[in-house]
Amino acid sequence: MLGETIKELRREKQLTLQNLSDLTGLSVAFLSQLENDQANPTLASLRKVAANLGTSMFALLAQAENGAACIKIDRDQPRAFSDPRFNVVFELLSTAYHSNKLQALLTNMEPGTSTCDERLGHGTWNDEEWALVLEGEVRLEVGKEEHILKAGDCVHFHPVLPHRYSNVGSTRASLVAVMCPPTY
């Protein structure tokens, strides 16, 4: 369960609920409810918790099978996370592996939606993000640039630059993004 994972990581880091609250800006009451699986976090709050626990959002959601040479992720295995405010569904295509050096996500966006309200940067200048548009028409705003991407187009950039993806077409858009290291 998500709450149990968060609680274990918090304790491993020797943080109290108050410490985590101070780091994330989230209330102690909310964090307690989250750890007891009595609250549903938004993408933003889950990212804050994950970042301050030294992990990624999806690493909290998907536990690794440690020691395996190859981890198979079945199509019917639950791995989606969405934020109803944005009408975007993120699906984990990778899992926390031995080194946890990369993360692959499938992002599905309905027409007129974006991955976030405003451009957000994450990570450092040593990090990388690569994306491939599978279907639809996507606008990528990254730094001071804007790119219109269609099925088959790829991009590669430093995610520390504030960025977001938006569906600017009239049909659903899908893209696969690979982030090194994981950030969700």
Tens digits of per-residue pLDDT, 131-175? 999 999 999 999 999 999 999 999 999 999 999 999 999 999 999
Single pTM value for the model: 0.65
Distance CA 106, CA 10 (A): 28
Round to whole Å and give the CA distance between 182 and 162.
16
Asked whether the predicted pLDDT for residue 114 surpasses 60, the reply is yes
Euclidean distance between CA atoms 16 and 149, whole angstroms: 45
Query: Which pLDDT score, from 0 to 100, does residue 124 have?
Result: 85
Asked whether residue 104 carries a pLDDT value surpassing 60, the answer given is yes
pLDDT tens digits, 32-75: 999 998 988 887 888 889 889 888 776 676 543 344 555 666 66
Instruction: Report the chain's mean pLDDT, rounded to a whole number.
Output: 85
Looking at the chain, the whole-number percentage of residues with pLDDT higher than 70 is 81
Order the strands of the 88-92 sheet from edge to edge.
Answer: 80-83, 88-92, 103-109, 173-180, 128-135, 154-157
